[in-house]
Amino acid sequence: MNPCFVRKYLYGDIPEETGGSTEQQPTSAAAGWPLWEVFIRSKQGLDHKHAGSLRAADAAMAIENARDVYTRRQEGVSLWVVESKFIHASNPDDAESFYTPAEDKIYRHPTFYDLPDEVKHM
């Protein structure tokens, strides 16, 4: 594949050149605040789920901003924030070789097995 047609991003949804890394650029108002990914637990017993992202100078500010931006209507009881640069993602170009091997292993699903009706719930 001609590389000039493909942009490779390293940080989840965020292009690497704007990943908000404070290591690459000094923290200053001009360079902008780092980007954070926000995860919300909507109620006790459920997983934290990715909600979106925001910019903040540090983790405490990221949590406070996430409260204001993503939970104005009681959407959550717990928040996680993680700097976007720390998220590593699989490469979409590899998706075929990476995920399709599971496709022909239908015996991993319960419906693969034909059982007599007398076996009611199994």
SS3 readout for 29-65: CCCCCCEEEEEEECCCCCCEEEEEEEECCCHHHHHHH
Residues 27-56 that bind other proteins (CB under 8 A): 27-30, 32-33, 35, 52-55
Residue among 2, 25, 9, 29 at smallest CA distance from 87: 9
Smallest distance from other proteins to CB 82, Å: 14
Which positions touch other proteins (CB under 8 A)? Answer: 1-2, 5-9, 13-15, 17-18, 22, 27-30, 32-33, 35, 52-55, 57-58, 61, 68-70, 72-73, 89, 91-93
